[in-house]
Structure 1
Amino acid sequence: MTSRNLDWTNIAAPSIEDFDLIARDAFAELPEEFRRLCEGVIIRVEDFPDEETLKDMDCETEFDLLGLFRGRGLAQGASTLQTGQFPNMVWLYRRPILDFWADQEDTLGAIITHVLVHEIGHHFGLSDADMEAIEESMR
């Protein structure tokens, strides 16, 4: 199909719901042993990080952060929730990811997968090399 045959007037940016679906698909494609270790990790999609997160992460703009892991990772010995402890969560930030995607040759799905693996990797205390190996195993 050529661009002359595609009706560009009806194409919209992926919604939060679209991102959630892409993230769920990306998670489902991760290696089984990696997914099994993620039990209890909640994945949320928001347009932007909140002001407190931007301040905590020392961000200059709301576009500086693509994703974030919050919680007590397995590397810190978190195997069960303790009273008053929030569940481990990964946030994916839609607008910063879309902005990043606009400057890349990768697909949106590949970028969401990369951010997801990177943030979940923090949960496990994985190195960058470990996370790259996981992504490479999916190609």
Structure 2
Amino acid sequence: MAEPAPACQVAPDAAAIEALARATLARIPAPFAEHLTNVVLVVEDYADDETLDDLGIEDPIELTGIYHGRPIGEKSSFDSGGMPDRIHLYRLPILWEWIETGVAIDALVHHVVVHEVGHHFGLSDDDMHALEAAAE
């Protein structure tokens, strides 16, 4: 296991996590970036009970982020009136992982955002794990 984050570092607040997430989104390359312009970014301390129940997660510390919406490949011109696609980041689980792993907070937020963007493009968790493994 990596060294834990140094005790002298201050935990970022929701605005700082959002700024890191927006910096990641700004680096998404052009044909993909244009499909993210209407995706709403939300930073909360924890997922709500309904989200946790839907995913079968008992401990809210286990969920760092989630994509809510229909993947691009499933969208239709007949879709209307629904909620906008959203990427939710959960600050306290991200901070918990940061402390536990020692991974730099910007790298950790980047990883979670890219993962959720992958869901927006219709990739499954298995697809993303395979891509990450191939990139190592």
Question: What interval of TM-score do these two structures reach, taking the shorter chain for normalisation?
Answer: 0.7 to 0.9
Give the Cα–Cα distance (whole angstroms) in 1 for the partners of residues 38 and 77 of structure 2: 10
SS at 2:89 equivalent: strand
Which runs of no fewer than 5 residues in structure 2 stay unpaired? 1-7
2:10 to 12, 24, 29: 12
- Which is higher, the Rg of structure 1 or of structure 2? 1
Alpha-carbon displacement from aligned partner over 1:67-113 (angstroms, at most 9, x marks no partner): 00011111212567512x10000000000001011122421111111
Q: 1:62 to 1:21 in 2, by over 3 A?
A: same
Q: Helix, strand or coil: the match of 2:60?
A: coil
Q: CA deviation at 1:26?
A: 1.3
- Mapped to 1, the partners of 2:111 and 2:78 lie a distance apart of 27
The 2-side partners of 1:79 and 1:111 are apart by: 35
Deviation of the 1:32 alpha carbon: 2.6
**TM-score, with structure 2 as normaliser:** 0.80
Aligned residue in 2 for 1:26: 24
Q: Which runs of no fewer than 5 residues in structure 1 stay unpaired? A: 1-7
Mapping of residues 1-139 of structure 1, within 5 Å? 8=8, 12-78=10-76, 81-83=79-81, 85-126=82-123, 127-128=127-128, 132=132
Query: What letter is aligned with 1:40?
Result: N
Aligned CA distance change for structure 1 residues 116 and 125 (closer, same or farther; 3 Å)? same
> Which structure is richer in relative contact order (CA contacts within 8 A, separation 6 or more)?
2
Runs of 4+ deviating beyond 3 Å: 78-81, 129-133
% identity of equivalent residues: 35
TM-score by length of 1: 0.79
The alignment's C-alpha RMSD in Å is 2.1
